[in-house]
């Protein structure tokens, strides 16, 4: 009996603390403020499970690099087949305005001449517009036939986007190939 | 006086005009099919040429994303997988198999298929099976599958999953092989309605990491010829539910190391003579899309090279007309189409046209 009474009092204490806390928050914050913070939190949570490819879009590279991303000789493009977004209003890491970045890619391995290390490069297609038509590039280092599509540069990788027409290609460093 | 000269001129002109018959515009229809015709497919459609005259005979307007076109003369039809957006590059996507008639090269029917078509210019992403009824279209989403269409009844049958396997190689009456990334072949046998009845996997016969089999192939008398990036040949065929794969042998002699096959649709077999024509270049590993400076002709029976055709303009694509007086059709790096006698190798003509992505004997 005493145990039940102790439990009831315990729950009452929890309820009371919650009530007081809620009232205190309600006095300090407007409802709109609460919703905006909740929305911010949910947006942040949605970004948590993104793939390494998607994270790479937002990161600044810390690599020391050499070369011109508007030329096919740029070291990251060793297995790139497509048109360079860096010539089309984007860069080697960003899509041109209004294009959709495909989250699904093919992956190559390229050597950075400045540190002589091999890096995994994700070739993401930018989609939803006409083909850019500038700076065509067709390198085939490590390229495999289309039946092995994860390493095939021939494949158009506009998947997982609303509009699947091909516009151009970027080259993102995922990390060292030995990692 | 001037008035008299003017009136005389008018009378003369009206007399001259009266002698010229007024012309009416007309529309051609396709002539009766002739020897050494071929199809040159580009991004804007498929042009039909006569290799003997060099004349263009007509055009099939295809979607820019069409992988290939399959002619079928017994019914006087062409089959093409096409993909369209309602607003050119965005909007609703619709994938179809379109059927074109022979006489006018015009669309006469279309069948909607799942919007998963692999939209690459690869000849073996489309295959009309031996019975002339079932058309197999490769899908990539990004996993592989195959859509089966009945082109006689004009209906989509179903989409069959083919994980890890692509490149459609029709065999027998209603079967096809696929090349798989694990180094095997898969045989799919369809029933009379077009549904998969049986699926068989071969032994591993190549390693995609060490020396991959190309995704470009050539049809032989009883099956298909596959070639690796290093130039090793495997001939494959089927006997009911058995897959036969020949022992690999190299077309590159030891003292010629450095020569490799390459290009895009860069090989074909003259089936009556069992001769392989393949574009070759000198280069390191991973130059498998480099155009060929030479075309090597290999006698498959004796495994001996019988000719080296040196080219001024390297070859990206080639095909052969399967005729008694066959022609070798070569698509060059600069975009022209060169016609050779396939047996004497005499250059016969150059055909200009928009950049070709593949040829098809027709």
Name the band, by pLDDT with cuts 50, 70 and 90, for residue A150: confident
Q: Is the pLDDT of residue A46 over 50?
A: no
Respond yes or no on whether ipTM tops 0.95. Answer: no
- Min Cα distance B146 → chain A (Å) is 13
CA triple A39-A42-A46, angle to 5 deg: 140
Which residue has 């002699």 as its token pair?
A: B253
Distance of CA B64 to the CA centre of its chain: 15
Residue B299's pLDDT is 98
Give how far A4 is from chain B: nearest CA, Å.
60
Judged by average pLDDT, the poorest of B52-56, B86-90, B142-146 is: B86-90
The residue ranges of every structural domain in chain A are 2-47, 52-176
The string over A133-159, giving b where at least 16 C-beta atoms fall within 10 Å of a residue's C-beta and e elsewhere, is eebebebbbbbbbbbbbebbbbbbbbb
CATH architecture label of A52-176:
Sandwich (2.60)
**Residue B168: its pLDDT value, please?**
98
Tell if the CB–CB gap between B214 and A140 is shorter than 8 Å: no
* A76 contacts A92 by C-beta, under 8 angstroms: yes
Is A145 within 8 Å of chain B by CB? yes
By C-alpha distance, which of A126, A136, A148 is closest to A87? Answer: A136
Contact of A120 with chain B, judged by CB distance below 8 Å, is answered with: no
Choose, from A13, A115, A125, A157, the residue flagged as catalytic.
Answer: A125
Which chain A residues are Cβ-neighbours of B286 within 8 angstroms? 140-143
A125 — contact with chain B (CB < 8 Å)? no
Tokens of B286: 């991973």
**C-alpha to C-alpha distance for B222 and B171, rounded to whole angstroms:** 8
Chain B residues touching residue A124 (CB < 8 angstroms): none
Name every residue whose Cβ is closer than 8 Å to that of residue B254 and which is 6 or more positions away in sequence.
Answer: none
Measured CA to CA, the distance from residue B1 to residue B312 in angstroms comes to 68
Residue B176 has pLDDT above 50, yes or no: yes
Task: Give which of B315, B358, B323, B361 is closest to B343, Cα–Cα.
Answer: B323
Is A11 annotated as catalytic? Answer: no
Mean pLDDT, residues A81-110 taken together: 95
What pairs with residue B260 in β-bridges?
B281
Radius of gyration of chain B (CA): 24
Tens-digit pLDDT profile for residues B184-243: 999 999 999 999 999 999 999 999 999 999 999 999 999 999 999 999 999 999 999 999
Q: Is the pLDDT assigned to residue A24 strictly greater than 70?
A: no
Q: Which residues of A touch B288 (CB under 8 A)?
A: 140, 143
Are the Cβ atoms of A146 and B164 closer than 8 angstroms?
Answer: no
Q: Domains of chain B by range and CATH?
A: 63-215 (2.130.10.10), 251-362 (2.130.10.10)
Query: How far away is chain A from the Cα of B211, in angstroms, using its nearest Cα?
Result: 9
Structure tokens at B82: 């096409």
């Amino acid at each position: 009996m005493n145990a039940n009474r102790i439990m009831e009092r315990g729950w009452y204490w929890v309820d009371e603390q919650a009530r007081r806390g809620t009232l205190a928050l309600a006095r300090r914050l407007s409802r709109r403020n609460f919703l905006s913070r909740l929305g911010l939190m949910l947006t942040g949570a949605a970004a948590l499970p993104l793939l390494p490819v998607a994270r790479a879009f937002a990161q600044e590279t810390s690599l020391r690099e050499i070369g011109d991303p508007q030329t096919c000789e740029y070291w990251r493009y060793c297995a790139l087949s497509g048109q360079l977004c860096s010539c089309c209003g984007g860069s080697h890491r960003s899509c041109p305005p209004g294009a959709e970045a495909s989250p699904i890619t093919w992956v190559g391995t390229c050597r950075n001449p400045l540190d002589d290390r091999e890096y995994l490069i994700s070739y993401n297609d930018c989609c939803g517009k006409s083909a850019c038509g500038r700076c065509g590039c067709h390198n085939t280092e490590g390229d495999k036939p289309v039946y092995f599509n994860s390493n095939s540069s021939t494949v158009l990788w506009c998947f997982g986007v609303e509009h699947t027409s091909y516009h151009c290609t970027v080259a993102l460093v995922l990390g060292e190939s030995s990692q | 006086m001037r008035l008299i000269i003017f009136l005389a001129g008018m009378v003369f002109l009206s007399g001259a005009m009266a002698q010229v018959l007024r012309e009416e515009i007309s529309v051609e229809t396709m002539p009766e099919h002739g020897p050494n015709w071929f199809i040159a497919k580009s991004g804007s459609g498929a042009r039909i040429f006569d290799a003997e005259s060099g004349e263009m005979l007509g055009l099939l307007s295809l979607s820019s994303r069409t992988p290939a076109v399959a002619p079928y003369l017994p019914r006087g039809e062409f089959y093409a997988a096409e993909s369209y957006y309602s607003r050119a590059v965005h909007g609703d996507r619709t994938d179809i198999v379109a059927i074109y008639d022979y006489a006018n090269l015009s669309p006469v029917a279309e069948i909607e298929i799942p919007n998963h078509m692999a939209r690459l210019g690869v000849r073996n992403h489309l295959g009309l099976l031996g019975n002339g009824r079932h058309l197999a279209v490769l899908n990539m989403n990004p996993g592989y599958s195959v859509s089966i269409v009945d082109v006689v009844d004009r209906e989509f049958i179903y989409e069959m999953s083919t994980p890890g396997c692509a490149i459609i190689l029709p065999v027998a009456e209603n079967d096809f092989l696929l090349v798989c990334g694990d180094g095997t072949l898969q045989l799919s046998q369809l029933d009379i309605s077009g549904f998969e009845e049986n699926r068989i996997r071969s032994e591993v016969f190549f390693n995609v990491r060490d020396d991959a089999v190309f995704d470009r192939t050539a049809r032989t008398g009883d099956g298909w010829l596959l070639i690796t990036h290093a130039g090793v040949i495997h001939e494959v065929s089927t006997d009911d539910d058995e897959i036969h794969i020949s022992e690999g042998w190299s077309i590159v002699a030891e003292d010629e190391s450095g020569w490799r096959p390459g290009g895009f649709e860069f090989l074909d077999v003259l089936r009556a003579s069992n001769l392989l024509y393949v574009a070759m270049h000198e280069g390191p590993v991973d130059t498998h899309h480099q155009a060929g400076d030479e075309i090597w002709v290999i006698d498959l029976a004796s495994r001996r090279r019988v000719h080296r055709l040196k080219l001024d303009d390297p070859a990206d694509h080639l095909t052969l007309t399967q005729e008694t007086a066959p022609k070798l059709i070569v698509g060059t790096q600069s975009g022209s189409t060169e016609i050779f006698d396939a047996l004497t190798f005499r250059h016969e003509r150059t055909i200009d046209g928009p950049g070709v992505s593949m040829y098809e004997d027709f």
